[in-house]
Each structure stands twice: as C-alpha cells, then as structure tokens.
Amino acid sequence: MPSPKSDPLEVDVRRYRRWRDRRREAERHRARQPRPGKEVDDILDFARTWAPFGGPPEEETLVNFGMCPTRFTERLWQVIGEFGCGRADETQLKRAYPQHE
C-alpha cells in the first residue's frame, strides 16, 4: 500500500487545501482594506471632470458638496492620500488643485 504522502489523491487534496487557505486569507485581507464610498467616487469624478479647466467654479463645489473650494481641495487630497489615483490623474489634479500647506 502506498504511503499517504505519495498517494496522488492526497497530494492533490493537500495542494487544494493550501490554495484554499491562501485564497481565504487574501479575501480576509481585502475585507480589512478601506473601500472608497460614493462620496470618494463623486469627489474624484468631479475633480477629474473640472481639472482640464483649472478646477470648478466656486458655486459648483458649494452646490455639489456643500464645501468652499479650499475645503474641497483639502478633502480631495485627503481622499487621494487614503485611496490613491493614477499617476496621470495625480499630475493633472496637482495643476488644477494645488495643495496649500
């Protein structure tokens, strides 16, 4: 009788269990990561839309987000710091929404 370590079925079962455990751990890790909500998506979409024009008019940030332009810019960079965005987007956003320190 072959030893359990050399049985092809046992080898496949162990391989599957390792794969399953790694997959479960990856899912748990993803579940712990912060996810952008609707507000984050809305802020990024709005900022990207207005970036080619140098940013939105003051009224637009007030109407859409209830924020003055300075607060909107602060929130935008907070969102980018937390969730990131593409390098091309970030370059364009830096020109339209400079960070004030």
Q: For the full predicted model, state whether its pTM sits above 0.95.
A: no
Q: How confident is the model at residue 30, as a pLDDT?
A: 79
Q: Would you state the pLDDT for residue 62? A: 95
Q: By the 8 A CB rule, do 86 and 64 touch?
A: no
pLDDT at 3: 58
How high is the pLDDT of residue 86? 86
What is the mean pLDDT, run by run of 10 residues, along the chain of 101 residues? 72 94 89 79 95 94 94 94 88 90 61
Q: What pLDDT is recorded for position 101?
A: 61
